[in-house]
Structure 1
């Protein structure tokens, strides 16, 4: 009897989600029970957190209201496929700003999605193309594979293309993924190098979760580690610059993928960033739009002086046709 009651309550929830208002007799007829049973089932839904509202008179009846908490939704097959496809597009980088939330939701949905619906989702994904955006798109299957492996503590194997173009085979213990707004990164323990590493997901291929489990290690903070890696490690030069502007102002003008900003008093801050060419870095620093002092390296100070002299001469030069 309990199983029948549970099934009926779920059916009642589906009816309430399908249209704005139902009368008690209408629900009773659809469910094949009495109006009294409908009232009991409505109370069960309320106990589960669903804000079912009841009103009397003409136009009255039962309706599903908006609550503070978001209870589970009942989705039919078509709705589940539509939601899964949208989540994959968002998590893969085609919808800016929602990647992490989309991945969390996609992982939850993946746990309960039947195999036949997964096939439909994959087919729709393959048949969908998007215009390029400022984000770097990632294969949703890679995201899901790594999310499952991180959740289940399973080792992964993959092919990785390094910054310099070298390709290597990697065996990793995946811990957490980080979305920077433009790219996805994975914090993982590299089994062959016996150290923590961060990896760009768009440089991965042939990603495969193995049957080998692992016991979680004490991991560094994923956000801090990835921020350090992408702003310093890949570059030939690492620079520290003091800006005469509050940290909040500089942070608004320097994305997290370009450098880390630390307050240095109320009206100043220190930016740590990296670059392969100091000349390019000088131009970037000037675009922040605040006075700055180079703390290190000394080579950057010399490049700043040289570039300043060049710009000063250009500003003071008089065109030949005006002489």
Structure 2
């Protein structure tokens, strides 16, 4: 198919796209650029000549050396190759610092490791652009895939195919049970992934944390219950009659972070910017995870057994630092 003539609006869009294309390619032939944009080689040559006399005038409102784009003219005229040597205004635009770019690249690496992100070429291209566009070379980072990645991929396939799954599950009381579940929904909270599904052992909807699953197997058996057949609660964490109640104190602004654990009708006493309220937990050992997620913020007030379990856990962690070689040298 022969390239079509460009209208005025199309020419502007073409020029705006050509400049970053040339910036991303240190050396490109006229033919390659024409094929990429679907235009004739003469249109590429005309556009390059126009770019080479484009720029931003200086304070005198007259064009001086350095105010225009520039190319290697010998390469262009003798070998039909485009090499952009000077960029105007684009180099002066704000850039990410090396640290900012490294943080963004680390986030993109994490996203690319998730099973649902199949189009990883796009993510790789974006990481490359962040590296080139930073004010300095970003630190080299590598984000390891989570141990739950394989489990997550298997469950996503089961949810899409409406197939039952089986797995060994370690509950909050430290008990192992084999479960057969109709997987209905996958959700994440911070760095943790959860599965909501119909548990055939409990004959009710249950929530399972993926990192507590082992020996996961996808079956060929169709699910018995679909999301429309059951009621999935709005909140991820649902209480039960066996839950234990714990009294805590924390800053008022931090209370929403634990809202899912606060039972309906719980009283909240506020004083001096802090609030006392109760939480429901399946087991006192579950408090350790909540306290670790809000270090120095949550204070467990009671019952005494809950305080002792959290205090012993904190003391054990502190003892590891006391026994370290660094501590001994100090």
Structure number with bigger Rg: 2
- The structure in which a higher percent of residues are helix is 1
Same fold (TM over 0.5): no
